[in-house]
Amino acid sequence: MKLYPHLFIDGAWTAPVEPRYIDVIDPTTEEAIASVAMGGAADVDKAVAAARAAFADFSNSTIEERIRLIDRIISSYEKRVDKFSEVIAREAGIPRASRAQVYGPIQHMQVARDLLRSYRFVSRLGHAIVRREPIGVCALISPWNWPIQTKVIKLIYGLAAGCTMVAKPSENSPLSSLLLTEVLDEAGVPKGVFNLVNGSGREVGQAMSSHPGVDMVSFTGSTGAGRVVGATAAATVKRVSLELGGKSANLVLPDADLEKAARWNIQRCFFNTGQSCHAPSRLLVHASQVEQILPFLVDEASQFRLGNPLDTATTMGPTVSARQFETIQHHIQGGIDEGARLICGGVGRPEGLTRGYFVKPTVFAEVDPKMKIATEEIFGPVLAVIPYENQDHAIAIANGSIYGLGGYVFTSNRAQGYEVAKELRAGRISFNGAATDSLAPMGGYKQSGIGRSMGVFGLEEYLETKSVYGFQEEAETLPVIHG
Secondary structure class of 140 (helix, strand, coil): strand
- The amino acid that residue 178 corresponds to is L
Both 99 and 47 in one domain: the answer is yes
Both 62 and 163 in one domain: the answer is yes
Both 312 and 296 in one domain: the answer is yes
What integer pLDDT is reported at residue 5 of this predicted model? 97
- What CATH number does the domain containing 28 carry? 3.40.605.10
Residue 345 counted as domain residue: yes
Q: Average pLDDT in the 19-38 region?
A: 97
Task: Note the pLDDT tens digit of each residue in 172-192.
Answer: 999 999 999 999 999 999 999
Both 92 and 151 in one domain: the answer is yes
Task: Note the pLDDT tens digit of each residue in 305-355.
Answer: 999 999 999 999 999 999 999 999 999 999 999 999 999 999 999 999 999
Residue 474 counted as domain residue: no
What integer pLDDT is reported at residue 129 of this predicted model? 96
Contact criterion met (CB below 8 Å) for 321 and 287: no
Does residue 397 have a pLDDT over 60?
yes
Does residue 483 have a pLDDT over 80?
no
How does the average pLDDT of the chain come out, rounded?
97
Number of domains present in the structure of the chain:
2
Task: Note the pLDDT tens digit of each residue in 353-381.
Answer: 999 999 999 999 999 999 999 999 999 99
- What CATH number does the domain containing 328 carry? 3.40.309.10
Both 173 and 70 in one domain: the answer is yes
Q: What percent of the chain is predicted at pLDDT more than 70?
A: 100
Both 6 and 30 in one domain: the answer is yes
Residue 277 falls in the annotated catalytic set:
yes
Residue 285 counted as domain residue: yes
Catalytic residue among 86, 91, 171, 243: 243
Both 216 and 254 in one domain: the answer is no
Detail the DSSP E strand segments found in 128-234: 128-134, 137-141, 164-168, 194-196, 216-220
Residue 482 counted as domain residue: no
H or E stretch at 420: helix 414-423
Both 152 and 260 in one domain: the answer is no
pLDDT band for position 482 (cuts 50, 70, 90)? low
Per-residue exposure over 311-345, b if at least 16 CB sit within 10 Å of its own CB, e if not = eeebbbbbbbbeebbebbbebbeebeeeebeebbb
Residue 292 counted as domain residue: yes
Both 256 and 240 in one domain: the answer is no
What is the domain extent for residue 290?
Answer: 249-431
pLDDT band for position 99 (cuts 50, 70, 90)? confident
What integer pLDDT is reported at residue 475 of this predicted model? 87
Residue 87 counted as domain residue: yes
Residue 443 counted as domain residue: no
Both 326 and 233 in one domain: the answer is no
pLDDT band for position 88 (cuts 50, 70, 90)? very high
Both 275 and 202 in one domain: the answer is no
Task: Note the pLDDT tens digit of each residue in 240-265.
Answer: 999 999 999 999 999 999 999 999 99
Which pTM value belongs to this model? 0.96
Catalytic residue among 277, 377, 423, 461: 277
